[in-house]
Structure formats: C-alpha cells, structure tokens
Amino acid sequence: MTACRARDSGEASRSQTRVLVIDLGGTNVKILVTGKRAPRRVPSGLGMTASGMVAAVQQLAADWSYDVISLGYPGAVIGGRPAAEPKNLGKGWKGFDFEKAFGCQVKVINDAAMQALGSYEGGRMLFLGLGTGLGSALITDGVLVPMELAHLRYRNGRTYEDYVGLRGLKR
C-alpha cells in the first residue's frame, strides 16, 4: 500500500502542504496534486467500490508526493463521512475508513461543494455541475451549503438528474 508522504515537523514549516484532490464521479475518478497541472483519471461506474477506488488512486498517484487528501464524494456527507451509498457507483462507501485505507488524513466533502469552493471568488454563488449527474452547492455569507438538487422529483416521476445528467443525455 502506498501511503501519504511522511514529513518531519521542520519540513512542514518550510514548504506548503501537498494536497491530493480526488473527484469521485460516476464515470471517472479524477485526481490532481498540488503543483501539478494535468489531472489523471481512471474509469469508475457501478463496479467501482470504495476499496477499488483507493487501489486505483494509489496506482495513479504512485509517483506523486502528498500529505493529505481531499475527497469529493458524489452524495450527502455528514460529519466528514458518506451518509449513503452513491447512486452511480458500487457499494461499500458508507462507513468506509478512508484514512486507514490511504494511511493519512482524508477530508471527505460533497463533490459539488468541493468544486464550488475551487471556483469561488467571493460574494454569493450557486454552483451547478453537469456530469454523470447534477451537482449543486450554494455559497452565501461565507457558508458553503451542498444542496443535492439532483434527486428532487421534477416531472413524470423522474428527477432533475434524470433530465440533465448522463441518463438524460443518452435519452
């Protein structure tokens, strides 16, 4: 198992923390580390389990050094942990110990919230991310609110995600 790069306390004060960012999507898992410009990806989908994602990310990032991980999860996150199994991935996410699996500190956040933070420039912002599904988050008065609009009923018994996500595009 490849773990996060260990640092001594003197090194941490001399350089910035290197963050490995993981965007866990229903079609691909994308990763990028501090200081790099080109993300790497691996296909995901209904067969992608939590342990399979960890193995894939460790292989993709084998030649990168990082101290901590930020994981964008495609669903509700409560208390820094997935609240339910994702709609577009395999099983085994709820209750999974990401820190133990990766061997370092892992911050789990809703994927749309993480993407919103990455593009936030101040003021109020409504983020809508179109991909396999529909990600949504709101930033207002300095507060980040993941919204999970995708799974609300829209019409004909379908959700917003059924219309504007990958399923809608295919239809």
Cα–Cα–Cα angle for 114, 118, 123, rounded to 5 degrees: 105
- Report if residue 33 sits inside a domain: yes
144 forms bridges with which residues in the sheet? 139
Task: Read off the CATH number of the domain in which 95 is found.
Answer: 3.30.420.40
The pLDDT of residue 73: 95
- Report if residue 21 sits inside a domain: yes
- Report if residue 1 sits inside a domain: no
The pLDDT of residue 14: 53
- Report if residue 2 sits inside a domain: no
The pLDDT of residue 118: 87
Query: Rounded CA gap, 161 and 25, in Å?
Result: 14
Query: From the first residue on, what is the mean pLDDT of each consecutive set of 10 residues in the chain (171 residues)?
Result: 51 73 94 96 95 97 96 93 92 96 96 91 91 87 88 87 78 77
The pLDDT of residue 127: 93
- Report if residue 4 sits inside a domain: no
The pLDDT of residue 161: 82
- Report if residue 62 sits inside a domain: yes
- Report if residue 70 sits inside a domain: yes
Q: Is 140 helix (H, G, I), strand (E, B) or coil?
A: strand
What residue numbers bound the domain in which 42 lies?
9-170
Closest CA to 62 of 33, 37, 89, 92: 33
Cα–Cα–Cα angle for 96, 102, 108, rounded to 5 degrees: 55
Hey, what are 48's tokens?
């992608």
Count structural domains, the chain: 1
- Report if residue 158 sits inside a domain: yes
